């Protein structure tokens, strides 16, 4: 399907006649603001594919902001709605993206039993279409809520939740927040992990990826999510610097970073700290020794950026430990991916992680604000006995959170929602 064309592209849309039949398959539209591998987008693609495997007719609608398409091709019908280059200022960006998605969906005129938005932008677009009478209702999944400084963004986020006909959350922690702060009750459709894509067995990409990143340090710590405040990237860097004082061969790989928001001030602070301590990486494409001309040792810090999706399982398998001291997540999707891939995990001792991780059993959990505790856990996880215990429990935990399970829960929520509306 051409990324640039939307007219007639809604292959997953169900005709009005088919929707009127009692025996017609359930038809669901899943909407997301991006095609890049952020947690909400990955959730959308994986949930859509799992729903399709259950016999649900699914179509994904996504803004195609760079005309590059999805981070991987979904196995289900999908429509890419063109988006123009972003204007200056985050308020203007969000306003433009809502308008682009609204216009694209209006032109398509798709018909579905359920319209399900996975973010603030797509929920606001659906609210506009419902007000025009073009769709009957919409659902909104809240992955997490942000504390915006902008009044426009705060209003946009709140409107996307309050105006939805039904809300879903990915964790009990955020269900409680929605009820306490906004008076909204939400069903839980959790994140999952594909055990077909993520597993401990090598797939042949490991050696090439290690060479590509210069990831030859020991121990090798990996995290995914880029450099931004809620990932606690500076806290992780400080802990890593402490570890290196005792383990000078340690290396930290930070992958990912695709985001709608501008975290430049935070990233400059991160860079200043890394430069001050002599671990700022060489320019992209330079040899591993380029960051330290007098030595052939690997660069202490690797900013890998957004890697091809096919390489992510291998990245987890390269890790001596996956370290994720985030301070705000909807669920922690990457934790399940890492655990399913056999990587022992250090993470934050706070919800939502504590809903599925048990300290000392399936992961090492620490206060993410305490640098010393994080550094100590990063060293403790290198113990062979600790690694074996965590790895075994992690594989069991990941096996309980499949996308098939999430899809079955979602399908039940959809049918219950439609049944309530009919009655």
Same-domain pairing of 263 and 388: yes
Q: Say if 287 falls within a structural domain.
A: yes
Mean pLDDT of 59-64: 97
Same-domain pairing of 104 and 117: yes
Please report where in the chains the tokens 């606690």 appear, as a residue.
232
Q: Say if 198 falls within a structural domain.
A: no
Distances, alpha carbon 4 to alpha carbons 9, 49, 371, in Å = 10, 23, 47
Q: Residue 297: what pLDDT? A: 78
Name the H helices within 223-340: 233-246, 264-276, 312-318, 333-340
Please report where in the chains the tokens 């450099």 appear, as a residue.
227
Average pLDDT, the chain: 91
Q: Say if 7 falls within a structural domain.
A: no
Please write the tens of the pLDDT for every residue from 19-51.
444 557 899 999 999 999 989 999 999 999 999
Q: How far apart are the first and last CA of the chain?
A: 39
The CATH number for 100's domain is: 3.40.50.2000
For residue 74, pLDDT beyond 80: yes
Mean pLDDT of 106-112: 95
Q: How far apart are CA 52 and CA 223, in angstroms?
A: 31
Tell me the Cα Rg of the chain. 22
For the chain, the helix, strand and coil percentages under 3-state DSSP, each to the nearest 5: 45, 15, 40
Q: Residue 296: what pLDDT? A: 59
Please report where in the chains the tokens 């931004």 appear, as a residue.
228
The whole-model pTM stands at 0.90
Same-domain pairing of 392 and 361: yes
For residue 8, pLDDT beyond 70: no
**314 backbone dihedrals φ, ψ, rounded to 5°:** -65, -35
Question: Closest Cα partner for 190 from 346, 363, 404?
Answer: 404
Please write the tens of the pLDDT for every residue from 78-107.
999 999 998 999 999 999 999 999 999 999
Same-domain pairing of 183 and 289: no
Q: Residue 153: what pLDDT? A: 96
Mean pLDDT of 158-182: 97
Q: Say if 269 falls within a structural domain.
A: yes
Q: Say if 4 falls within a structural domain.
A: no
Distances, alpha carbon 282 to alpha carbons 245, 290, 299, 308, 323, in Å = 21, 6, 8, 21, 22
Please report where in the chains the tokens 């075994």 appear, as a residue.
392
Q: Say if 337 falls within a structural domain.
A: yes
Per-residue pLDDT band for 282 (boundaries 50, 70, 90) equals low
Q: Residue 5: what pLDDT? A: 36
Same-domain pairing of 339 and 217: yes
For residue 115, pLDDT beyond 50: yes
Please write the tens of the pLDDT for every residue from 314-334.
999 999 999 999 999 999 999
Give the DSSP letter string of 142-163: ES-----S-HHHHHHHHHHHHT
For residue 6, pLDDT beyond 60: no
Same-domain pairing of 137 and 272: no
Q: How far apart are CA 41 and CA 68, in angstroms?
A: 15
Mean pLDDT of 170-182: 97
Please write the tens of the pLDDT for every residue from 288-306.
444 444 345 789 999 999 9
Same-domain pairing of 334 and 301: yes
Same-domain pairing of 181 and 211: no
Same-domain pairing of 138 and 262: no
Biggest CA-to-CA distance, the chain: 75
Q: Say if 200 falls within a structural domain.
A: no
Q: Say if 8 falls within a structural domain.
A: no
For residue 15, pLDDT beyond 80: no
Please write the tens of the pLDDT for every residue from 224-273.
999 999 999 999 999 999 999 999 999 999 999 888 778 899 999 999 99
Q: Residue 262: what pLDDT? A: 83
Over pLDDT 90: what percentage of the chain?
Answer: 86
Give yes or no for a contact between 73 and 29, defined as CB atoms under 8 angstroms apart: no
Same-domain pairing of 156 and 100: yes
- Determine the structural domain holding residue 27 and report its residue range: 16-192+403-422
Q: Residue 21: what pLDDT? A: 45
Same-domain pairing of 172 and 231: no
Same-domain pairing of 133 and 220: no
Please write the tens of the pLDDT for every residue from 338-376.
999 999 999 999 999 999 999 999 999 999 999 999 999
Q: What 3-state DSSP class applies to 208?
A: helix
Q: Is the dihedral of CA 115, 121, 124, 125 positive or negative?
A: negative
Per-residue pLDDT band for 67 (boundaries 50, 70, 90) equals confident
Please report where in the chains the tokens 């803004």 appear, as a residue.
63
Q: Could you give the number of structural domains in the chain?
A: 2
């Amino acid at each position: 399907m051409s990324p640039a064309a939307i007219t007639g592209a809604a292959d997953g849309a169900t005709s009005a006649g088919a929707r009127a039949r009692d025996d017609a398959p359930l038809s669901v539209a899943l909407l997301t603001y991006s095609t890049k591998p952020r947690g909400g987008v990955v959730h959308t693609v994986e949930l859509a594919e799992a729903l399709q495997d259950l016999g649900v007719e699914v179509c994904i609608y996504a803004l195609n902001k760079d005309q590059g398409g999805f981070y991987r091709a979904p196995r289900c019908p999908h429509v890419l709605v063109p988006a123009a280059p972003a204007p200056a200022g985050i308020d203007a960006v969000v306003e433009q993206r809502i308008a682009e998605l609204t216009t694209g969906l209006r032109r398509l005129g798709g018909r579905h039993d359920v319209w399900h938005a996975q973010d603030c932008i797509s929920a606001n677009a659906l609210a506009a279409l419902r007000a025009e009478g073009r769709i009957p209702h919409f659902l909104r999944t809240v992955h997490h809520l942000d504390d915006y400084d902008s009044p426009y963004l705060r209003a946009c986020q709140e409107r996307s939740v309050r105006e939805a006909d039904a809300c879903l959350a990915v964790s009990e922690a955020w269900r409680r927040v929605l009820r306490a702060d906004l008076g909204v009750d939400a069903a839980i459709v959790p994140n999952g992990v594909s055990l077909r894509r993520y597993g401990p067995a090598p797939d042949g990409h490991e050696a090439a990826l290690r060479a590509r990143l210069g990831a030859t340090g020991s121990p090798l710590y990996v995290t995914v999510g880029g450099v931004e405040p809620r990932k606690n990237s500076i806290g992780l860097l400080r802990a890593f610097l402490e570890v290196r004082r005792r383990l000078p061969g340690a290396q930290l790989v930070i992958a990912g970073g695709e985001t709608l928001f501008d975290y430049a001030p935070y990233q400059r602070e991160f860079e200043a700290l890394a430069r001050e301590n002599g671990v700022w990486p060489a320019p992209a494409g330079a040899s591993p020794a380029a960051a330290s001309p007098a030595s052939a040792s690997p660069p202490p810090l690797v900013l890998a950026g957004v890697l091809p999706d096919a390489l992510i399982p291998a990245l987890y398998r390269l890790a001596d430990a996956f370290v994720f001291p985030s301070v705000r997540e909807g669920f922690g999707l990457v934790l399940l991916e890492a655990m399913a891939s056999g990587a022992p995990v250090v993470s934050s001792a706070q919800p939502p992680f504590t809903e599925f991780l048990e300290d000392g059993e399936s992961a090492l959990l620490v206060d993410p604000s305490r640098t010393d505790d994080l550094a100590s856990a990063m060293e403790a996880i290198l113990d062979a006995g600790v690694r074996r215990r965590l790895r075994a429990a992690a594989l069991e935990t990941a096996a309980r959170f499949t996308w098939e399970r999430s899809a079955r829960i979602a399908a039940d929520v959809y049918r219950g929602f439609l049944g309530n509306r009919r009655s």
